[in-house]
Each structure stands twice: as C-alpha cells, then as structure tokens.
Amino acid sequence: MDSEDNSSFGYDAFRRTCPSHTVLETLANKWVYLVVCALRRGRLRNGELARKLEGITPKMLTQTLRILERDGIVRREIFPVIPPRVEYELTELGQNLAGLLNQIRSWSEQHVPDIRDARARASMEPQEDSVARG
Amino acid sequence: MDSEDNSSFGYDAFRRTCPSHTVLETLANKWVYLVVCALRRGRLRNGELARKLEGITPKMLTQTLRILERDGIVRREIFPVIPPRVEYELTELGQNLAGLLNQIRSWSEQHVPDIRDARARASMEPQEDSVARG
DNA sequence: CCGGATCCCTTTCGATACTG
DNA sequence: CAGTATCGAAAGGGATCCGG
C-alpha cells in the first residue's frame, strides 16, 4: 500500500485523467477562493459580492458563480422582482469546502511577512559556493 | 469590528492591493497544490516529482518549483555530481502549508461523486418554475 | 440591479527540441 | 538528470454594450 496520502476512494488527484484532478483544477482559482470565503458567513447579493471582492469584474463574478453553482457548491436564488434581486449562498457541500478554503486564505494573511522575507532573500541572489566534484 | 473573518494582522485577501491577495494568488494554482502535496512526505528529486505529477512538463515543474523556492516554501538542494542530482523538500513554512493544501486535495478526491452529480443535474437545465410578480 | 454577449489583449500553458 | 528556449494554442480577464 503506497497510497499513504490517498486514503480516498481510488481517486488520485496526481493523475491527470482522474476526475479529482479536474475538481482540484476548479478549486485552484483565486476567484473561487474568494467567492466561497465571502459567502462563508451567509448569503449575499450579487452587488454585495462585487463590493466585497474588490476589483472583480461583473464578468468574472458571474462566471465564477456559475461554475460554483454548476458544481453544487453555491445555490442561487432569484427573486422575481423589479429591480432584480439575486442571492447566493453556500450549499452544504460548499460550507464544508469553505472551511478549508478559508484556512488557506487565513494562512495567506498570516504568512505575508514570512513570504515577503523569503522573496527579499531570494532577490539577493545568493551565489552557489564553489561546485564540481565529479 | 466587521472583520470577523479577518482575525489576522490587518491583511485582507479580499483587497487586490493587499500583499495577502498576492500570496493567495500564488497558491491558487493547480501545480502549486500538487507539488507541495507531493513533497509532503519527504524530499524528492526532480525526476521523481515529474513522474509523480503525471503530465507535468519540465517547464511547468521547474517554474512551479522556482516560485515555491522564492517564497520560502520549498528548499532546493543541489548535489554537484555527474549526472546532476537535485532534491527538493518543504521548508517549515511549506510543511505548515502542505497540511492545508493536502486537505483540499483530499476533499477533491472525496467529493468527486457529489460534484459529478451536481454537474449532471446542472446539465439537465432545470427550467425556472413560473416567474414574475412585480 | 442582474448578468449575458462581444471584442480583444495578455498571460499561461503544453509540446518540442536543445544544453550542461 | 536537470533545466532552458522557443513557439503556437488556449485560457484568463478587462472593457463595453445591450437586454430582462
């Protein structure tokens, strides 16, 4: 048994043709992260999301929401009123996921200094000491 | 205090100009996920990584590793021998992160059926029942 | 207010071939 | 074995106009 890190159900995200690889590919997206995290505390309207996700264009917001809706992570509720009102909320599956994605977001915030330092060190371009020795 | 989901240090990944946003952007990448997860159990050589990450091209592998190295997530060790031998391993920072990323990978594998079902349902294109009512 | 449809530029990524 | 260079295809993403 060499599948120590694959305690799952025969799926293996390291394999390109594995469906789980596609799922991972979907999640590995900045806007997906942020939208899911934004909805974590409850339902939001389109405009509220747009304001919360600073700089997102309507197009990307809609596109991201459609993907998440298609994958059963977000539920969309349309109120047939004028002016239109649409609300988005996480499904149970989405809430499950949101916990994990939010940890990554939190990690990103907490480790800004570490990464900033690492980049600074990297840009000092340390030269390899000596070399060779067949 | 409306920063309930930002218990961090004034960083806010929802803001485009926030450094944490950039960090999140770096992490929101399929190959980053997989490389970090692959290194989770210990150091690997370039070729070992290439074999584990089915379908990754040398170019993407190198590029991903350089980014991770620059950000202090991966450490690279070069053995000055012929033929060349290079090993990669997670730094402490990287190990910290790997735990989180691996949860996402695991989630992707576990929820393949859920997402497959959701997509199937979505492709049935459910029509909205009635509408309107100013 | 919600969001679909286009146009278009930029970046990314894969495939391939090559060097030390 | 490790890594670089180049090229073309594809996707990401902004701007804008339009419709319900």
pLDDT in tens, B10-23: 999 999 889 999 99
Distance B43 CA to C12 C1' (A): 28
User: pTM higher than 0.85, yes or no?
Assistant: yes
Span A68-109, pLDDT tens digits: 999 999 999 999 998 899 999 999 999 999 999 999 999 999
> Which of A84 and B5 is assigned the larger pLDDT?
A84
**Chain B interface mutation, best of A7, A26, A30, A79, highest count of B Cβ atoms under 10 Å:** A30
In CATH, B19-117 is 1.20.120.420: no
Tell me the shortest Cα–Cα distance from A89 to chain B, in angstroms: 16
Which pLDDT value is given to residue B8?
Answer: 53
Distance B71 CA to C16 C1' (A): 30
Where helices occur in A18-78 by DSSP H, the ranges are 19-27, 30-38, 46-52, 58-70
Note whether B48 contacts A: Cβ–Cβ < 8 A. no
- Fill in the DSSP letter of residue A39: G
Residues A108/A37, Cβ–Cβ less than 8 Å: no
pLDDT higher than 60, residue B80: yes
Give the whole-angstrom CA distance, residue A49 versus residue A43: 10
Mean pLDDT on B80-97: 96
A59 CA – C4 C1', rounded, Å? 9
Question: CA B8, CA A103: separation in Å to the nearest integer?
Answer: 11
Q: How far is CA B56 from CA A44, B48, B61, B65, B122, in A?
A: 38, 12, 6, 12, 31
- CA distance, residue B102 to nearest chain A CA (Å): 8
Give the whole-angstrom CA distance, residue A54 versus residue B63: 29
Share of residues in chain A with pLDDT > 90 (%) = 81
Phi-psi domain of A33 (left: phi exceeds 0; alpha: psi -120 through 50; beta: other): alpha
Domain spans in chain B, listed from the N-terminal domain onward: 19-117
Residues 1-30 of B with CB under 8 A from A: 4-9, 11-16, 19-21, 23-25, 27-30
**From CA B109, how far away is CA A101, in angstroms rounded?**
15
DSSP-derived 3-state class of residue A54: coil
Contact B108 A29 (CB under 8 A): no
The reply to whether the CB atom of residue B80 sits less than 7 A from any atom in nucleic acid chain C is: no
Please answer yes or no on whether A109 and B52 come within 8 Å at the CB atom: no
Single-letter code of the amino acid located at B36: V
pLDDT band at A55 (very low <50, low <70, confident <90, very high): confident
B88: DSSP letter: E
In the DSSP assignment, the letter for residue A126 is P
pLDDT value, residue B3: 41
What is the overall mean pLDDT for chain B?
Answer: 89
> Does nucleic acid strand C have an atom less than 7 angstroms from the CB of A58?
yes
